[in-house]
Amino acid sequence: MTDQDKQSVTTVFDQVAGRYDNPSMRFFPFCADRLIHHLRPAPDAKILDVATGTGAVALAAAQVLGPNGRVQAIDLAENMLNMAMANIQRAGLSNVDFHVMDAESLEFKSRYFDSVTCSFGIFFLPDMLAGLTSWRQVLKPGGRVMFTTFSANAFHPLAELFRQRLETFGITIPTENWMRLTTEQECQELLESVGFTKTQVIKEQLGYHLNQPEDWWEIIYSSGFRGYLEKLDAEQLGRFRVEHLAEIQSLMTNKGIWLDVETLFSTGVRHN
C-alpha cells in the first residue's frame, strides 16, 4: 500500500460514513462487543481506539469504563468520526475524545495507554509492522494491544463472486487490504516481531444469514468494497448490480444467505 492508497481509503470511508451503521453490517458492533469482552479493561483504563470508524469499539469500551476511565478514538476519515461522535452522544456517554489522526503517526505520549484496540483497521496501514510498533510505544509496560482482522474464509463465497463479476467488467482487484492478515500464524508473527509477549490469537465466527441479496449490496455499497464500484459508470453499475445480485440470489437457502464473518482477535502485552 502506498500513501496514495491511504488517501483513497480515507476518501472511500468519508463517502460511506452515512450508511456504515446499517443492520446488514451488524458484525462491526458484534465484534466490538466481543473485543471488549476479551480485553476486560479495568474501570479506570485509558484506551486508544485506532481506526475507530463510527466508534463501535470506542462505544463498547466507554460503556464498561468507570468515571476515571477514558477512550481516545482516532481515524483519518472525518465523516466517520462525526458519525462516531453522534453515536457516543446518543448513548449518553461523555468519556470519549475524538481526533483526526493517522494510525501510523500517533500524537500521544509514550507509555500512556493501558490498552490499544483496533477493529478491522490494521490491514489498511501501508506498513503494519511500523504501525503496530508505534502502537506499542504508547502502551504502558503491562499494557495490552488487541486488534481484529478477517480470516481468509470471511465473506466466502460472496467476495469471490464480487471479484469475478468485476473482472468481467474489466476491473481487476489487487490483493484486498483485508486479505493481508488472515491467518493465526501471520497475526502471531506480527505481534512477536514487534516484541509483544503473552501473545494469543482467538478465532470466532461472527457470521449470520442475510435476508435478501440487497443486504449484500448494502454491505458492498457501505464499506471499503465501494471503491471498486466507483470505477463503473452509471450504466455499468446498473448492469453489474443486476448480474451480481442474481448470482448472490442463487446462494439463498431456507435460512437466508450465509454471511461468513470468521474473525481473528489478536492480542499481546508490552512487557517493558
Taking the complex as a whole, the smallest distance from the CB of residue 112 to ligand SAM amounts, in Å, to: 18
The residue type found at 111 is R
Query: What span, in angstroms and rounded, lies between the C-alpha atoms of 212 and 215?
Result: 6
**Residues 206-225 interacting with ligand SAM (rule: CB under 6 A):** 224
Residue with Cβ nearer ligand SAM (124 or 228): 124
**By CB under 6 A, is residue 119 in contact with ligand SAM?**
yes
124 is an interface residue for ligand SAM by CB under 6 A: yes
Smallest distance, ligand SAM to C-beta of residue 55, A: 7
Q: Which three cell numbers stand for residue 178?
A: 483485508
**Which residues, in sequence order, are CB contacts of 159 under 8 Å at separation 6+?**
176, 225
Between 17 and 56, how does the x/- string for binding to ligand SAM read (CB under 6 A)? Answer: -----------x---x------------------xxx--x
Where do the H-state alpha helices sit in the chain? 3-20, 27-39, 56-64, 78-90, 128-138, 158-168, 184-194, 213-221, 226-229, 234-249
Using CB under 6 A, which of the segments 7-15, 198-206, 213-221, 227-235 binds ligand SAM? 7-15
Other CB atoms within 10 Å distance of the CB of residue 207: 18
Please tell me whether residue 192 adopts helix, strand or coil conformation: helix
Q: Give the footprint of ligand SAM on this chain (CB under 6 A).
A: 6, 9-10, 13, 28, 32, 51-53, 56-57, 74-77, 80, 102-104, 119-121, 124-125, 224
